[in-house]
Structure 1
């Protein structure tokens, strides 16, 4: 299934850890990106801009292959 704007997703820990993005910044990712649903609000190329959770948390650009559909 291709991820598109409006989809509910979460980050895949195995694909995000040790990635180029993890090496370029703080590799300690907050647990909410793996545990709560995020909504894809924008897309550019191989990246999706994801808004996580109902409480105020930072939005994040993540590679599409680092995301999976959120299933509750």
Structure 2
């Protein structure tokens, strides 16, 4: 998936749960990253900085293959 700034996305649970990123940090991901829309703020290499604006939450870097368009 080609991701660019301004796109609305959400995380794909199956791709994120057993990833290197989940092993390197707390593997209890908040439900909102899978259920609500996030906006791509910045793209750097294979990663995108996602801002979830529906509630106060920190921005998060995710690999682009762990994202899908929000519908």
User: What is the distance in 2 between the residues matched to 1:54 and 1:19?
Assistant: 26
- 1:53 and 1:11 mapped to 2: Cα distance? 14
**Shift in Å, 1:61:** 0.2
Report 1:21-60 matches (<5 A). Answer: 21-60=21-60
1:15 aligned onto 2:2: no
Task: Name the TM-score, length of structure 1 as normaliser.
Answer: 0.94
Contact 2:47 2:61 (C-alpha < 8 Å) held by counterparts: yes
Q: Any stretches of 5+ residues in structure 1 without a counterpart?
A: none
In 1: Cα distance, 2:37 partner to 2:17 partner: 19
Cα offset for 1:54? 1.9
TM-aligned CA deviation for residue 2 of structure 1: 1.5
The C-alpha deviation readout for 1:8-52, integer Å capped at 9, x for no partner, is 000000000010000000000000000000000001000000001
Q: Between Structure 1 and Structure 2, how many residues are aligned?
A: 71
